[in-house]
Structure 1
């Protein structure tokens, strides 16, 4: 299987400006993410950024970088420009790895690419994982997904979906008979589909929820949603997330055995 990973890395993050270059145990966040992507076995791993500072830092640790426009509204738009710059064929599988996912397991990057490769009639694939606490179901930062019997997305929402009429009104207990799923923001698409996607205007549902994948469903295109083979780890949206990642990656480094010649 052949695939390309593109890592959008926007310097001017609204919540954490300069996020790609924030230090995590001695190296910038974007380097941790890039290392995970390289380990997934992609044919190419490309970092896409609007920032020369990010470009210089990434090239210093050996990454390939595409300098892109600063006018893009989403990582997918940035990836579309990279597809143009690299002249990727329409059937190329492109995996979108968010630059703020320094703990993302390489297994999941490979899994989402493999899932798309095994379903040639589907233009886009993503992953999900179980939710086992009701607080996460009600957390608007945790995106929930509902699938049909063929593991195709029916909807994504920041709200609790499906709404458990019997347990949410008074007690907010998770019902025993429904497996709630959190969407993992990792996508694989075919290059030609990305170009079609960015040509569509934002749909009303996407604007309300602030979830760009809803544009795909709005245009009646299928999204394959697979159960992740392992936990996705912590993405960095806040200073608190950043500190958690520093601690976990530090602990992992202590647990990794050293090898001497």
Structure 2
């Protein structure tokens, strides 16, 4: 399946300004994410950015970056804007939206997000096990899954953050997506749904718009970086891993 990976990146994060260029043990975060995507060998990797600093960094390490409008409302919109500048897009069967703040994501999991597309869905994402403690965490996005093949192939039927006190068929959502190009185009042209606005979860735009989201199970949740404290946590994980090797 001909696939591309696009990593949206913007410097104007309210909680962590200049986040893409924040160094993790000397290497910028966006570079670490880009390197994990390259290791997956799933297809060409692009960074969709809105600042020349990121554009130049990716170019200097041999990567491909695409400038986009800094005023775009979301990473998904940034990816949609970027594909209009990719010449071979008419030959692409899957577009992977890889978040730019997951520097430790496994290359194998990047590959796995393509499985729903291979299984006939037009949009896919990942999920992993959810602990009782995580279920109570208002910051964690949960997904309810109707499995077609246990922990392999399933339909996402609910996304939420506020705890509901149930664990059956509830999993920890991992925010990486795959789209058929036509579905990505449909998605960004749909108006935000009532559920999306009330729950502040973009996934509901797809579900309410009649787009089925396929789920593939993965073993772990990659730590994402939203704050400087998260960055320190990642640095310690990398240091401990290096010390053991």
Structure 1-normalised TM-score? 0.87
For structure 1, which runs of at least 5 residues remain unmatched after alignment? 165-174, 257-261
1:156 to 146, 155, 159: 159
- Say if 2:122 and 2:179, in contact at 8 Å, map to a contact too: yes
CA distance in 1, matches of 2:68, 2:197: 24
Q: Return the alpha-carbon distance in structure 2 between the equivalents of residues 19 and 13 of structure 1.
A: 7
Cα distance in 2 for partners of 1:33, 1:149 equals: 30
Across the two proteins, how many residue pairs are aligned to each other? 239
TM-score, structure 2 normalization: 0.93
Q: Is the 8 A contact 1:3 1:44 kept in 2?
A: yes
Per-residue CA deviations over 1:174-217 (Å, capped at 9, x if unaligned) read: x6xx2531100010111111111111111111111111111000
What is the 5 A alignment of 1:105-184?
105-117=106-118, 119-120=119-120, 122-132=121-131, 134-150=132-148, 151-161=154-164, 163-164=165-166, 178-184=168-174
| Alpha-carbon distance in 1 for matches of 2:15, 2:215 | 28
1:11 aligns with 2:11: yes
Cα shift readout 1:65-119 (whole Å, capped 9, x = no counterpart): 00001111111100101111114127520111100000100000001113312x2
Supply the distance in 2 between the matched residues of 1:149 and 1:248 (Cα, whole angstroms). Answer: 33
The structure 1 segments of at least 4 consecutive aligned residues displaced by more than 3 Å after TM superposition are none
What is the alpha-carbon distance in structure 1 between the residues aligned to residue 58 and residue 91 of structure 2?
27
Question: Is the contact between residue 50 and residue 68 of structure 2 (CA under 8 Å) also seen in structure 1?
Answer: yes
Distance 2:9 2:99 in 1: 7
Return the index of the structure with the highest Cα Rg.
Answer: 1
Which shifted more, 85-94 or 51-60?
Answer: 85-94
1:91 & 1:63 partners in 2: Cα distance?
A: 19
Partner of 1:202: 192
Displacement of 1:160 in angstroms is: 2.1
What is the CA–CA distance in structure 2 between the aligned matches of 1:221 and 1:115, rounded to whole Å? 13
What runs of 5+ residues in structure 2 fail to find an aligned partner? 149-153
Q: Which residue of 1 aligns with 2:151?
A: none
